[in-house]
Structure 1
Protein backbone atom coordinates (compact mmCIF):
# COMPACT_ATOMS: atom_id res chain seq x y z
CA UNK A 1 0.00 0.00 0.00
CA UNK A 2 1.28 3.42 -0.87
CA UNK A 3 2.40 5.42 2.10
CA UNK A 4 0.38 8.55 2.69
CA UNK A 5 2.29 11.74 2.99
CA UNK A 6 1.09 14.59 5.12
CA UNK A 7 0.37 17.78 3.22
CA UNK A 8 0.87 20.88 5.28
CA UNK A 9 -1.00 24.03 4.43
CA UNK A 10 1.29 26.87 3.50
CA UNK A 11 1.29 29.99 5.61
CA UNK A 12 1.19 33.20 3.54
CA UNK A 13 4.49 35.01 3.15
CA UNK A 14 3.10 37.93 5.13
CA UNK A 15 2.38 35.66 8.11
CA UNK A 16 -1.38 36.25 8.21
CA UNK A 17 -3.63 33.29 8.92
CA UNK A 18 -6.02 32.93 5.94
CA UNK A 19 -8.94 32.30 8.31
CA UNK A 20 -8.34 35.43 10.36
CA UNK A 21 -10.11 38.71 9.72
CA UNK A 22 -8.40 40.73 7.00
CA UNK A 23 -6.31 43.56 8.49
CA UNK A 24 -7.86 46.01 6.01
CA UNK A 25 -10.98 46.16 8.18
CA UNK A 26 -13.41 44.84 5.56
CA UNK A 27 -14.87 42.26 7.98
CA UNK A 28 -14.04 39.41 5.56
CA UNK A 29 -11.56 36.61 6.16
CA UNK A 30 -8.09 37.33 4.82
CA UNK A 31 -8.31 34.48 2.28
CA UNK A 32 -11.49 36.01 0.81
CA UNK A 33 -10.16 39.56 0.70
CA UNK A 34 -6.57 40.76 0.26
CA UNK A 35 -5.34 37.18 0.56
CA UNK A 36 -6.75 36.43 -2.90
CA UNK A 37 -3.75 38.11 -4.48
CA UNK A 38 -1.35 36.19 -2.28
CA UNK A 39 0.69 39.29 -1.60
CA UNK A 40 1.42 41.35 1.50
CA UNK A 41 -1.06 43.92 2.73
CA UNK A 42 -0.58 47.35 4.18
CA UNK A 43 -2.86 47.84 7.17
CA UNK A 44 -4.72 51.17 6.83
CA UNK A 45 -3.52 53.92 9.15
CA UNK A 46 -6.38 54.32 11.61
CA UNK A 47 -5.72 57.94 12.56
CA UNK A 48 -3.86 59.52 9.63
CA UNK A 49 -4.04 63.15 10.79
CA UNK A 50 -2.94 62.56 14.39
CA UNK A 51 -0.60 65.21 15.75
CA UNK A 52 -2.00 68.06 13.66
CA UNK A 53 -4.03 70.83 15.27
CA UNK A 54 -6.13 70.76 12.10
CA UNK A 55 -7.01 67.06 12.52
CA UNK A 56 -10.73 67.48 13.22
CA UNK A 57 -11.30 70.00 10.43
CA UNK A 58 -9.42 67.77 7.98
CA UNK A 59 -11.75 64.90 8.85
CA UNK A 60 -14.85 67.07 8.45
CA UNK A 61 -13.74 68.45 5.07
CA UNK A 62 -12.87 64.99 3.83
CA UNK A 63 -16.00 63.18 4.98
CA UNK A 64 -19.05 65.45 4.90
CA UNK A 65 -18.42 69.13 4.11
CA UNK A 66 -19.39 69.56 0.45
CA UNK A 67 -17.77 72.81 -0.67
CA UNK A 68 -15.00 74.46 1.33
CA UNK A 69 -11.49 75.85 0.99
CA UNK A 70 -8.77 76.68 3.50
CA UNK A 71 -5.26 78.13 3.11
CA UNK A 72 -2.45 75.86 4.27
CA UNK A 73 0.50 76.84 6.45
CA UNK A 74 3.42 74.88 5.01
CA UNK A 75 6.77 74.01 6.52
CA UNK A 76 8.35 73.37 3.11
CA UNK A 77 10.20 76.17 1.34
CA UNK A 78 8.04 77.56 -1.45
CA UNK A 79 6.68 80.88 -2.67
CA UNK A 80 3.53 79.21 -3.94
CA UNK A 81 0.29 79.56 -2.00
CA UNK A 82 -1.52 76.24 -1.65
CA UNK A 83 -5.21 75.98 -0.77
CA UNK A 84 -6.84 72.87 0.62
CA UNK A 85 -10.21 72.05 -0.98
CA UNK A 86 -12.93 69.66 0.05
CA UNK A 87 -13.28 68.52 -3.57
CA UNK A 88 -11.87 69.66 -6.91
CA UNK A 89 -13.26 69.34 -10.46
CA UNK A 90 -13.69 65.65 -11.40
CA UNK A 91 -12.38 64.77 -7.91
CA UNK A 92 -8.83 65.65 -8.92
CA UNK A 93 -6.08 65.28 -6.33
CA UNK A 94 -4.51 68.60 -7.23
CA UNK A 95 -4.36 71.41 -9.76
CA UNK A 96 -2.32 74.53 -10.45
CA UNK A 97 -4.04 77.46 -12.13
CA UNK A 98 -2.45 79.52 -14.87
CA UNK A 99 -1.64 82.23 -12.31
CA UNK A 100 0.38 79.71 -10.27
CA UNK A 101 -2.09 79.30 -7.38
CA UNK A 102 -2.38 75.67 -6.32
CA UNK A 103 -5.16 73.53 -4.86
CA UNK A 104 -5.09 70.10 -3.22
CA UNK A 105 -8.30 68.05 -2.91
CA UNK A 106 -9.35 65.96 0.09
CA UNK A 107 -12.22 63.99 -1.44
CA UNK A 108 -10.37 62.03 -4.12
CA UNK A 109 -10.94 58.98 -6.28
CA UNK A 110 -8.16 56.75 -4.98
CA UNK A 111 -5.95 56.38 -1.96
CA UNK A 112 -3.42 54.07 -0.39
CA UNK A 113 -3.42 52.69 3.13
CA UNK A 114 -2.33 56.10 4.48
CA UNK A 115 -4.48 59.13 3.65
CA UNK A 116 -1.83 61.40 5.15
CA UNK A 117 0.80 60.07 2.76
CA UNK A 118 -1.54 60.51 -0.22
CA UNK A 119 -2.14 64.13 0.71
CA UNK A 120 1.57 64.75 1.21
CA UNK A 121 2.29 63.39 -2.28
CA UNK A 122 -0.42 65.62 -3.77
CA UNK A 123 0.89 68.59 -1.80
CA UNK A 124 4.47 67.94 -2.93
CA UNK A 125 3.19 67.79 -6.51
CA UNK A 126 1.27 71.07 -6.08
CA UNK A 127 4.39 72.83 -4.83
CA UNK A 128 6.50 71.64 -7.77
CA UNK A 129 4.00 71.43 -10.69
CA UNK A 130 3.84 73.90 -13.56
CA UNK A 131 0.90 76.29 -14.05
CA UNK A 132 -1.99 74.65 -15.86
CA UNK A 133 -1.17 71.09 -14.74
CA UNK A 134 -3.69 68.75 -13.09
CA UNK A 135 -3.04 65.72 -10.87
CA UNK A 136 -5.97 63.41 -11.53
CA UNK A 137 -5.25 60.64 -9.02
CA UNK A 138 -2.84 59.84 -6.23
CA UNK A 139 -2.71 56.06 -6.33
CA UNK A 140 -1.44 53.49 -3.85
CA UNK A 141 1.80 52.99 -5.79
CA UNK A 142 4.70 54.43 -3.85
CA UNK A 143 8.39 54.31 -4.64
CA UNK A 144 10.68 52.81 -2.03
CA UNK A 145 11.50 55.41 0.58
CA UNK A 146 8.57 57.64 -0.37
CA UNK A 147 7.14 58.04 3.11
CA UNK A 148 6.60 61.80 3.41
CA UNK A 149 3.36 62.50 5.25
CA UNK A 150 1.13 65.51 5.75
CA UNK A 151 2.60 65.96 9.23
CA UNK A 152 5.99 66.57 7.57
CA UNK A 153 4.68 69.38 5.38
CA UNK A 154 2.17 71.29 7.53
CA UNK A 155 2.80 73.45 10.56
CA UNK A 156 1.55 71.06 13.30
CA UNK A 157 0.12 73.79 15.55
CA UNK A 158 -1.64 75.69 12.76
CA UNK A 159 -5.42 75.57 12.96
CA UNK A 160 -7.48 75.18 9.81
CA UNK A 161 -10.03 77.95 9.17
CA UNK A 162 -12.29 76.73 6.35
CA UNK A 163 -14.35 79.04 4.18
CA UNK A 164 -17.62 77.37 3.20
CA UNK A 165 -19.18 78.03 -0.20
CA UNK A 166 -22.77 77.67 -1.33
CA UNK A 167 -21.66 76.24 -4.69
CA UNK A 168 -18.50 75.33 -6.60
CA UNK A 169 -18.03 78.55 -8.57
CA UNK A 170 -14.64 78.95 -6.86
CA UNK A 171 -13.34 76.08 -9.00
CA UNK A 172 -12.55 78.60 -11.72
CA UNK A 173 -11.06 82.12 -11.76
CA UNK A 174 -13.68 84.86 -11.90
CA UNK A 175 -13.01 85.68 -15.57
CA UNK A 176 -13.09 82.07 -16.81
CA UNK A 177 -16.14 80.21 -18.09
CA UNK A 178 -16.35 76.43 -17.55
CA UNK A 179 -16.23 74.21 -20.63
CA UNK A 180 -16.30 70.51 -21.47
CA UNK A 181 -15.91 68.01 -18.64
CA UNK A 182 -15.27 70.77 -16.09
CA UNK A 183 -18.60 72.42 -16.94
CA UNK A 184 -20.43 69.10 -16.62
CA UNK A 185 -18.68 68.30 -13.33
CA UNK A 186 -19.51 71.77 -11.99
CA UNK A 187 -23.18 71.41 -12.90
CA UNK A 188 -23.49 68.00 -11.26
CA UNK A 189 -21.64 69.12 -8.15
CA UNK A 190 -23.86 72.18 -7.69
CA UNK A 191 -26.98 70.04 -8.04
CA UNK A 192 -25.82 67.60 -5.36
CA UNK A 193 -24.58 70.11 -2.79
CA UNK A 194 -26.25 70.18 0.63
CA UNK A 195 -26.39 73.56 2.42
CA UNK A 196 -23.77 73.47 5.17
CA UNK A 197 -22.62 75.95 7.80
CA UNK A 198 -19.85 75.79 10.36
CA UNK A 199 -21.27 76.72 13.77
CA UNK A 200 -18.17 75.94 15.83
CA UNK A 201 -14.78 74.21 15.68
CA UNK A 202 -15.32 71.00 13.66
CA UNK A 203 -19.10 71.39 14.23
CA UNK A 204 -21.23 71.59 11.10
CA UNK A 205 -24.92 72.18 10.49
CA UNK A 206 -26.05 70.29 7.38
CA UNK A 207 -29.42 70.55 5.61
CA UNK A 208 -30.09 67.04 4.29
CA UNK A 209 -33.48 67.91 2.78
CA UNK A 210 -36.06 66.30 5.04
CA UNK A 211 -34.16 67.30 8.17
CA UNK A 212 -31.04 69.06 9.33
CA UNK A 213 -28.14 67.61 11.29
CA UNK A 214 -25.30 68.67 13.53
CA UNK A 215 -22.17 66.66 12.77
CA UNK A 216 -19.45 67.31 15.30
CA UNK A 217 -15.95 65.82 15.10
CA UNK A 218 -14.83 65.40 18.71
CA UNK A 219 -11.17 65.22 19.87
CA UNK A 220 -11.59 62.85 22.83
CA UNK A 221 -10.66 59.14 22.80
CA UNK A 222 -13.73 57.18 21.73
CA UNK A 223 -14.22 55.27 24.99
CA UNK A 224 -14.06 58.37 27.16
CA UNK A 225 -16.38 60.29 24.86
CA UNK A 226 -18.91 57.45 24.88
CA UNK A 227 -18.84 57.41 28.68
CA UNK A 228 -19.50 61.16 28.78
CA UNK A 229 -22.29 60.92 26.22
CA UNK A 230 -23.84 58.09 28.22
CA UNK A 231 -23.72 60.14 31.40
CA UNK A 232 -25.55 62.99 29.69
CA UNK A 233 -28.02 60.58 28.07
CA UNK A 234 -28.94 59.04 31.43
CA UNK A 235 -29.61 62.54 32.75
CA UNK A 236 -31.70 63.51 29.73
CA UNK A 237 -29.12 66.17 28.81
CA UNK A 238 -27.84 64.81 25.50
CA UNK A 239 -30.00 66.98 23.26
CA UNK A 240 -29.52 70.55 22.10
CA UNK A 241 -32.95 71.66 23.22
CA UNK A 242 -36.38 71.61 21.62
CA UNK A 243 -36.38 70.36 18.06
CA UNK A 244 -33.25 68.24 18.49
CA UNK A 245 -32.53 64.55 18.99
CA UNK A 246 -29.32 62.57 19.34
CA UNK A 247 -29.19 60.34 16.25
CA UNK A 248 -25.98 58.33 16.71
CA UNK A 249 -22.34 58.58 15.74
CA UNK A 250 -19.81 57.40 13.21
CA UNK A 251 -16.08 56.81 13.34
CA UNK A 252 -13.92 58.59 10.79
CA UNK A 253 -10.13 58.40 10.66
CA UNK A 254 -9.77 57.49 14.31
CA UNK A 255 -12.16 60.00 15.85
CA UNK A 256 -15.84 59.82 16.78
CA UNK A 257 -18.40 62.09 15.12
CA UNK A 258 -21.66 62.38 17.10
CA UNK A 259 -24.71 63.40 15.08
CA UNK A 260 -27.90 65.18 16.15
CA UNK A 261 -31.13 65.54 14.18
CA UNK A 262 -32.33 69.15 14.16
CA UNK A 263 -35.46 71.04 13.22
CA UNK A 264 -34.56 72.35 9.76
CA UNK A 265 -37.01 75.24 10.13
CA UNK A 266 -34.56 76.87 12.51
CA UNK A 267 -31.60 78.73 11.05
CA UNK A 268 -28.16 77.19 11.47
CA UNK A 269 -26.99 80.02 13.72
CA UNK A 270 -29.82 79.34 16.15
CA UNK A 271 -27.97 76.14 17.11
CA UNK A 272 -24.65 77.82 17.87
CA UNK A 273 -25.39 78.61 21.53
CA UNK A 274 -27.07 75.25 22.25
CA UNK A 275 -24.00 73.50 20.78
CA UNK A 276 -21.67 75.55 22.96
CA UNK A 277 -23.78 74.74 26.02
CA UNK A 278 -23.74 71.04 25.17
CA UNK A 279 -19.98 71.24 24.75
CA UNK A 280 -19.69 72.62 28.27
CA UNK A 281 -21.83 69.77 29.62
CA UNK A 282 -19.65 67.26 27.80
CA UNK A 283 -16.50 68.78 29.29
CA UNK A 284 -18.01 68.57 32.78
CA UNK A 285 -19.08 64.97 32.21
CA UNK A 286 -15.58 64.05 31.02
CA UNK A 287 -14.05 65.62 34.11
CA UNK A 288 -16.49 63.82 36.41
CA UNK A 289 -15.43 60.46 34.98
CA UNK A 290 -12.02 60.87 36.58
CA UNK A 291 -13.50 60.25 40.02
CA UNK A 292 -16.96 58.78 39.44
CA UNK A 293 -17.45 55.57 37.40
CA UNK A 294 -20.59 54.99 35.35
CA UNK A 295 -23.68 53.88 37.21
CA UNK A 296 -25.69 50.87 36.04
CA UNK A 297 -28.17 53.22 34.34
CA UNK A 298 -25.36 55.04 32.58
CA UNK A 299 -23.83 51.75 31.42
CA UNK A 300 -27.16 50.79 29.87
CA UNK A 301 -27.26 54.17 28.16
CA UNK A 302 -23.73 53.58 26.86
CA UNK A 303 -24.70 50.21 25.41
CA UNK A 304 -27.61 51.85 23.60
CA UNK A 305 -25.35 54.56 22.17
CA UNK A 306 -22.77 52.03 20.99
CA UNK A 307 -25.51 50.25 19.09
CA UNK A 308 -25.97 53.39 16.99
CA UNK A 309 -22.38 53.60 15.74
CA UNK A 310 -21.01 53.01 12.26
CA UNK A 311 -17.49 53.24 10.86
CA UNK A 312 -16.35 55.21 7.83
CA UNK A 313 -12.92 54.18 6.61
Structure 2
Protein backbone atom coordinates (compact mmCIF):
# COMPACT_ATOMS: atom_id res chain seq x y z
CA UNK A 1 0.00 0.00 0.00
CA UNK A 2 2.82 2.36 0.87
CA UNK A 3 4.51 1.77 -2.49
CA UNK A 4 1.26 2.38 -4.36
CA UNK A 5 0.64 5.63 -2.53
CA UNK A 6 4.20 6.73 -3.13
CA UNK A 7 3.98 6.07 -6.85
CA UNK A 8 0.59 7.78 -7.05
CA UNK A 9 1.94 10.84 -5.26
CA UNK A 10 4.88 10.93 -7.63
CA UNK A 11 2.55 10.74 -10.62
CA UNK A 12 0.39 13.53 -9.24
CA UNK A 13 3.45 15.65 -8.61
CA UNK A 14 4.66 15.05 -12.16
CA UNK A 15 1.22 16.02 -13.49
CA UNK A 16 1.26 19.25 -11.53
CA UNK A 17 4.74 20.04 -12.87
CA UNK A 18 3.67 19.34 -16.48
CA UNK A 19 0.53 21.45 -16.16
CA UNK A 20 2.49 24.30 -14.61
CA UNK A 21 5.09 24.03 -17.38
CA UNK A 22 2.37 24.09 -20.04
CA UNK A 23 0.86 27.26 -18.60
CA UNK A 24 4.29 28.87 -18.67
CA UNK A 25 4.64 28.22 -22.42
CA UNK A 26 3.18 30.56 -25.06
CA UNK A 27 -0.20 29.41 -26.39
CA UNK A 28 0.01 28.31 -30.02
CA UNK A 29 -1.85 30.29 -32.65
CA UNK A 30 -4.12 27.27 -33.25
CA UNK A 31 -5.04 27.13 -29.56
CA UNK A 32 -5.59 30.88 -29.50
CA UNK A 33 -7.95 30.60 -32.48
CA UNK A 34 -9.88 27.83 -30.70
CA UNK A 35 -10.20 29.91 -27.54
CA UNK A 36 -11.31 32.90 -29.64
CA UNK A 37 -14.09 30.87 -31.26
CA UNK A 38 -15.43 29.80 -27.85
CA UNK A 39 -16.37 33.40 -27.09
CA UNK A 40 -18.11 34.03 -30.41
CA UNK A 41 -21.65 34.17 -29.00
CA UNK A 42 -20.75 36.71 -26.33
CA UNK A 43 -18.91 38.88 -28.86
CA UNK A 44 -21.82 38.67 -31.29
CA UNK A 45 -24.15 40.08 -28.64
CA UNK A 46 -21.71 42.92 -27.98
CA UNK A 47 -20.49 43.74 -31.50
CA UNK A 48 -23.11 42.85 -34.11
CA UNK A 49 -24.33 46.14 -35.57
CA UNK A 50 -21.33 48.00 -34.15
CA UNK A 51 -18.58 46.43 -36.23
CA UNK A 52 -17.87 44.84 -39.60
CA UNK A 53 -18.71 41.47 -37.98
CA UNK A 54 -16.88 39.21 -40.40
CA UNK A 55 -18.60 36.06 -39.13
CA UNK A 56 -21.74 36.90 -41.17
CA UNK A 57 -19.99 37.29 -44.53
CA UNK A 58 -20.48 34.83 -47.41
CA UNK A 59 -18.47 34.48 -50.60
CA UNK A 60 -20.02 35.87 -53.81
CA UNK A 61 -17.21 35.65 -56.37
CA UNK A 62 -14.68 32.93 -55.67
CA UNK A 63 -11.38 31.88 -57.26
CA UNK A 64 -12.05 33.94 -60.39
CA UNK A 65 -8.85 34.28 -62.46
CA UNK A 66 -8.07 37.85 -63.48
CA UNK A 67 -7.62 37.77 -67.25
CA UNK A 68 -4.37 39.38 -68.33
CA UNK A 69 -2.60 38.60 -65.03
CA UNK A 70 -0.57 35.40 -64.94
CA UNK A 71 1.17 35.38 -61.55
CA UNK A 72 2.45 37.27 -58.47
CA UNK A 73 -0.77 39.15 -57.70
CA UNK A 74 -0.23 40.88 -54.36
CA UNK A 75 -2.08 43.47 -52.26
CA UNK A 76 -5.34 45.34 -52.82
CA UNK A 77 -6.81 48.77 -52.10
CA UNK A 78 -10.07 50.55 -52.94
CA UNK A 79 -9.78 53.92 -54.71
CA UNK A 80 -12.62 56.06 -53.35
CA UNK A 81 -12.17 58.65 -56.10
CA UNK A 82 -12.19 56.27 -59.07
CA UNK A 83 -14.44 53.55 -57.60
CA UNK A 84 -11.91 50.93 -58.71
CA UNK A 85 -9.32 48.67 -57.10
CA UNK A 86 -5.53 48.78 -57.30
CA UNK A 87 -3.12 45.89 -56.85
CA UNK A 88 0.55 45.19 -57.57
CA UNK A 89 2.58 42.32 -58.96
CA UNK A 90 6.03 41.85 -57.45
CA UNK A 91 7.48 39.71 -60.23
CA UNK A 92 6.63 41.88 -63.24
CA UNK A 93 6.59 45.02 -61.04
CA UNK A 94 3.28 46.42 -62.19
CA UNK A 95 0.56 48.53 -60.60
CA UNK A 96 -2.79 47.16 -61.75
CA UNK A 97 -6.15 48.91 -61.84
CA UNK A 98 -9.10 46.52 -61.54
CA UNK A 99 -12.86 46.87 -61.74
CA UNK A 100 -15.01 45.87 -58.77
CA UNK A 101 -15.78 42.65 -60.67
CA UNK A 102 -12.09 41.74 -61.01
CA UNK A 103 -11.56 42.88 -64.59
CA UNK A 104 -8.11 44.25 -65.50
CA UNK A 105 -8.52 47.88 -66.61
CA UNK A 106 -4.89 48.97 -67.06
CA UNK A 107 -1.26 48.30 -66.15
CA UNK A 108 1.21 50.89 -64.85
CA UNK A 109 4.91 50.04 -64.96
CA UNK A 110 6.81 50.47 -61.69
CA UNK A 111 10.31 51.54 -62.78
CA UNK A 112 13.09 51.14 -60.20
CA UNK A 113 11.03 49.10 -57.75
CA UNK A 114 12.50 45.77 -56.62
CA UNK A 115 9.71 43.97 -54.75
CA UNK A 116 6.41 45.88 -54.51
CA UNK A 117 4.23 44.00 -52.02
CA UNK A 118 1.53 46.42 -50.86
CA UNK A 119 -0.42 49.41 -52.14
CA UNK A 120 -2.76 51.80 -50.33
CA UNK A 121 -5.10 54.59 -51.45
CA UNK A 122 -4.41 57.85 -49.59
CA UNK A 123 -6.38 60.55 -51.41
CA UNK A 124 -7.45 61.30 -55.01
CA UNK A 125 -4.48 60.64 -57.28
CA UNK A 126 -2.17 59.54 -54.45
CA UNK A 127 -1.16 55.98 -53.50
CA UNK A 128 1.57 54.53 -51.31
CA UNK A 129 3.47 51.40 -52.36
CA UNK A 130 5.57 49.33 -49.97
CA UNK A 131 8.71 47.77 -51.47
CA UNK A 132 9.64 44.80 -49.31
CA UNK A 133 13.24 44.40 -50.45
CA UNK A 134 14.07 48.10 -50.28
CA UNK A 135 12.10 48.43 -47.01
CA UNK A 136 10.70 51.68 -48.37
CA UNK A 137 7.30 53.34 -48.47
CA UNK A 138 6.87 55.19 -51.76
CA UNK A 139 4.34 57.95 -52.39
CA UNK A 140 3.20 58.03 -56.02
CA UNK A 141 0.79 60.21 -57.99
CA UNK A 142 -1.32 58.89 -60.85
CA UNK A 143 -4.03 60.13 -63.19
CA UNK A 144 -5.98 58.77 -66.15
CA UNK A 145 -2.96 59.02 -68.43
CA UNK A 146 -0.34 57.44 -66.15
CA UNK A 147 1.37 54.42 -67.70
CA UNK A 148 4.59 54.32 -65.65
CA UNK A 149 5.89 55.51 -62.27
CA UNK A 150 9.59 56.06 -61.53
CA UNK A 151 10.83 55.25 -58.04
CA UNK A 152 13.57 57.86 -58.27
CA UNK A 153 11.02 60.60 -58.98
CA UNK A 154 8.84 59.69 -55.99
CA UNK A 155 8.93 60.65 -52.30
CA UNK A 156 10.19 57.78 -50.15
CA UNK A 157 10.51 56.79 -46.51
CA UNK A 158 12.96 54.04 -45.53
CA UNK A 159 12.15 51.89 -42.50
CA UNK A 160 15.16 49.71 -41.67
CA UNK A 161 13.23 47.44 -39.32
CA UNK A 162 15.43 44.38 -39.82
CA UNK A 163 17.58 44.22 -42.96
CA UNK A 164 18.45 40.55 -42.31
CA UNK A 165 14.84 39.57 -43.05
CA UNK A 166 14.41 41.00 -46.55
CA UNK A 167 11.71 38.47 -47.45
CA UNK A 168 9.78 38.90 -44.20
CA UNK A 169 9.27 42.63 -44.54
CA UNK A 170 6.36 44.92 -45.32
CA UNK A 171 3.37 43.03 -46.67
CA UNK A 172 0.38 45.20 -45.80
CA UNK A 173 -0.70 48.83 -45.74
CA UNK A 174 -3.79 50.59 -44.37
CA UNK A 175 -4.56 54.29 -43.96
CA UNK A 176 -6.59 56.17 -41.36
CA UNK A 177 -7.35 59.49 -43.06
CA UNK A 178 -8.82 61.05 -39.90
CA UNK A 179 -5.47 60.90 -38.08
CA UNK A 180 -3.23 60.76 -41.20
CA UNK A 181 -1.86 57.49 -39.84
CA UNK A 182 -0.42 54.76 -42.06
CA UNK A 183 -0.43 51.19 -40.76
CA UNK A 184 2.44 49.06 -42.06
CA UNK A 185 2.25 45.29 -41.59
CA UNK A 186 5.52 43.42 -41.14
CA UNK A 187 4.98 39.83 -42.25
CA UNK A 188 6.93 37.83 -39.65
CA UNK A 189 10.01 37.60 -37.41
CA UNK A 190 8.61 39.52 -35.65
CA UNK A 191 5.02 39.99 -36.77
CA UNK A 192 4.34 43.68 -36.27
CA UNK A 193 1.94 46.47 -37.29
CA UNK A 194 3.83 49.75 -37.33
CA UNK A 195 1.94 53.05 -37.12
CA UNK A 196 3.52 55.82 -39.17
CA UNK A 197 2.55 59.49 -38.90
CA UNK A 198 4.03 62.17 -41.14
CA UNK A 199 4.21 60.02 -44.26
CA UNK A 200 2.94 60.38 -46.85
CA UNK A 201 2.54 64.17 -46.88
CA UNK A 202 -0.98 65.23 -47.88
CA UNK A 203 -1.83 67.70 -50.61
CA UNK A 204 -2.47 71.20 -49.29
CA UNK A 205 -1.74 70.30 -45.65
CA UNK A 206 1.26 71.13 -43.48
CA UNK A 207 3.78 68.28 -43.40
CA UNK A 208 4.11 66.40 -40.11
CA UNK A 209 7.30 65.18 -38.46
CA UNK A 210 7.68 61.46 -39.16
CA UNK A 211 6.84 59.34 -36.13
CA UNK A 212 6.88 55.52 -36.08
CA UNK A 213 5.25 53.63 -33.22
CA UNK A 214 4.56 50.02 -32.28
CA UNK A 215 1.84 48.39 -30.18
CA UNK A 216 3.54 45.19 -29.08
CA UNK A 217 0.71 44.25 -26.70
CA UNK A 218 -1.73 44.20 -29.64
CA UNK A 219 0.69 42.49 -32.02
CA UNK A 220 1.80 39.77 -29.59
CA UNK A 221 -1.85 38.92 -28.99
CA UNK A 222 -2.62 38.33 -32.67
CA UNK A 223 -3.38 34.63 -33.19
CA UNK A 224 -2.15 34.52 -36.80
CA UNK A 225 1.25 33.33 -37.95
CA UNK A 226 1.83 36.01 -40.58
CA UNK A 227 0.43 39.26 -41.99
CA UNK A 228 -0.20 39.49 -45.72
CA UNK A 229 -2.48 42.56 -45.93
CA UNK A 230 -4.32 45.21 -43.89
CA UNK A 231 -7.40 47.41 -44.26
CA UNK A 232 -8.61 50.24 -42.01
CA UNK A 233 -12.39 50.56 -41.59
CA UNK A 234 -13.17 54.28 -41.22
CA UNK A 235 -16.76 53.73 -40.06
CA UNK A 236 -15.76 51.83 -36.92
CA UNK A 237 -12.06 52.76 -36.59
CA UNK A 238 -11.29 49.05 -36.77
CA UNK A 239 -8.44 47.24 -38.51
CA UNK A 240 -8.74 44.14 -40.70
CA UNK A 241 -5.71 41.83 -40.66
CA UNK A 242 -5.29 39.20 -43.39
CA UNK A 243 -3.13 36.12 -42.82
CA UNK A 244 -2.16 33.86 -45.70
CA UNK A 245 -0.65 31.10 -43.53
CA UNK A 246 -3.54 31.04 -41.05
CA UNK A 247 -6.13 31.39 -43.85
CA UNK A 248 -7.93 33.97 -41.76
CA UNK A 249 -9.19 37.55 -41.87
CA UNK A 250 -9.46 39.09 -38.38
CA UNK A 251 -11.21 42.29 -37.25
CA UNK A 252 -9.53 44.27 -34.46
CA UNK A 253 -11.36 46.95 -32.49
CA UNK A 254 -9.90 50.39 -31.71
CA UNK A 255 -8.03 48.92 -28.73
CA UNK A 256 -6.50 46.15 -30.83
CA UNK A 257 -8.69 43.33 -29.49
CA UNK A 258 -9.90 40.67 -31.95
CA UNK A 259 -13.70 40.71 -32.20
CA UNK A 260 -14.63 38.80 -35.39
CA UNK A 261 -13.08 36.63 -38.07
CA UNK A 262 -13.62 35.18 -41.54
CA UNK A 263 -12.06 31.80 -42.28
CA UNK A 264 -10.64 31.29 -45.78
CA UNK A 265 -10.81 27.50 -45.54
CA UNK A 266 -12.87 25.10 -47.63
CA UNK A 267 -16.59 24.91 -46.67
CA UNK A 268 -16.40 28.05 -44.53
CA UNK A 269 -18.47 31.11 -45.56
CA UNK A 270 -19.56 29.32 -48.75
CA UNK A 271 -16.06 28.59 -50.07
CA UNK A 272 -15.75 25.51 -52.27
CA UNK A 273 -11.99 25.30 -51.67
CA UNK A 274 -9.33 26.94 -49.53
CA UNK A 275 -8.19 30.38 -50.65
CA UNK A 276 -4.70 29.23 -51.72
CA UNK A 277 -2.52 32.27 -50.92
CA UNK A 278 -4.45 35.33 -49.79
CA UNK A 279 -2.28 38.41 -50.38
CA UNK A 280 -4.61 41.42 -50.51
CA UNK A 281 -7.77 42.69 -48.79
CA UNK A 282 -9.85 45.85 -49.00
CA UNK A 283 -13.45 46.95 -48.48
CA UNK A 284 -15.79 49.08 -50.55
CA UNK A 285 -18.16 51.73 -49.17
CA UNK A 286 -21.08 49.28 -49.39
CA UNK A 287 -19.29 46.81 -47.09
CA UNK A 288 -18.18 44.39 -49.82
CA UNK A 289 -14.86 42.74 -48.95
CA UNK A 290 -12.44 42.10 -51.82
CA UNK A 291 -9.58 39.59 -51.56
CA UNK A 292 -6.84 38.70 -54.03
CA UNK A 293 -4.87 35.48 -53.91
CA UNK A 294 -1.79 34.36 -55.78
CA UNK A 295 -1.33 33.51 -58.54
CA UNK A 296 -4.18 35.65 -60.00
CA UNK A 297 -7.42 34.88 -58.15
CA UNK A 298 -10.20 37.32 -57.19
CA UNK A 299 -12.81 36.95 -54.42
CA UNK A 300 -15.64 39.05 -53.01
CA UNK A 301 -17.58 38.54 -49.76
CA UNK A 302 -20.83 40.21 -48.70
CA UNK A 303 -23.34 39.96 -45.89
CA UNK A 304 -26.71 38.29 -46.64
CA UNK A 305 -29.09 40.86 -48.07
CA UNK A 306 -26.25 43.13 -49.14
CA UNK A 307 -25.05 41.30 -52.26
CA UNK A 308 -23.81 43.61 -55.00
Which structure would you say has the larger Rg?
1
Q: Output the TM-score relative to the length of structure 2.
A: 0.27
Answer 1 or 2: higher relative contact order, Cα 8 Å, separation at least 6.
2
Q: Which has the higher strand share?
A: 2
Q: Output the TM-score relative to the length of structure 1.
A: 0.27
